[in-house]
Amino acid sequence: MSKLLTDLIEALRCLPGVGGKSAQRMAFHLLERDRERGLRLAKALDEAMRQIGNCSRCRNFSETPVCALCSSSSRDRHVLCVVESPTELAAIEQATGYRGQYFVLLGRLSPLDGLGPEELGLDRLAERLGEGEIEEMIIATNPTVEGEATAHYLAQLARAANVKPSRLAHGVPLGGELEFVDRGTLAHAFGSRQSVD
């Protein structure tokens, strides 16, 4: 097999769920019948990888210093929802009618993996809570062991800033990841969130 082809197949394997066989099928497909779209894919990948950074306010993906959501004047400035990743932010946006602000941790507390408060941007989150605009902080971390530990820490952070912490309610299966929960369940869990005591 040509070196370029081998390189392409190897590169495609970086995608989640794509093993050697699928990577080869994708590479052959693009070369055999979809070169134009292959080039479009390459261009989009190149631009996205170079230009998408993180919003300085919420840490979600953004190609501008402050993302569209954070700069929108139609979002409620008094509620802040904390999620582990941009995937979950997207799931909440699509499934619920939530109109508040977000903060993306880009991970969860996991000392063994070197993920502490600093890596999760919790100093920035504390600053944000300290600005005094936020009244409720919805903790939407995943119901996993690490997600729960993170939630506990976040609730303390909120209380220290005189902000009411709340948690997504029942309906989210234990150990389940939010992005895989169906829309109805997520919307329900979001709507019937409970304050943390």
Contacting residues toward Zn ion, per CB under 5 A:
55, 57-58, 67, 70
Closest contact distance (angstroms) between CB of 189 and Zn ion is: 23
Closer to Zn ion by CB, 67 or 125: give it: 67
**Main-chain dihedrals φ then ψ at residue 102, nearest 5 degrees:** -130, 160
Closest contact distance (angstroms) between CB of 66 and Zn ion is: 6
**5 Cβ contact partners less than 8 Å away, ≥ 6 residues apart:** 27, 31
Closest contact distance (angstroms) between CB of 58 and Zn ion is: 3
Closest contact distance (angstroms) between CB of 178 and Zn ion is: 19
Cα separation, 148 vs 69, whole angstroms: 27
What does 105-132 look like in DSSP terms, one character per residue? -SS--BGGGTB-TTTTTHHHHHHHHHTS
Q: How many residues does the chain have?
A: 197
* Residues forming a β-bridge with 164: 136
Closer to Zn ion by CB, 13 or 75: give it: 75
Three-class DSSP category at 135: coil
Closer to Zn ion by CB, 9 or 138: give it: 138
Closer to Zn ion by CB, 54 or 185: give it: 54
Cα separation, 169 vs 10, whole angstroms: 42
Three-class DSSP category at 62: strand
Closer to Zn ion by CB, 55 or 154: give it: 55
Closest contact distance (angstroms) between CB of 155 and Zn ion is: 22
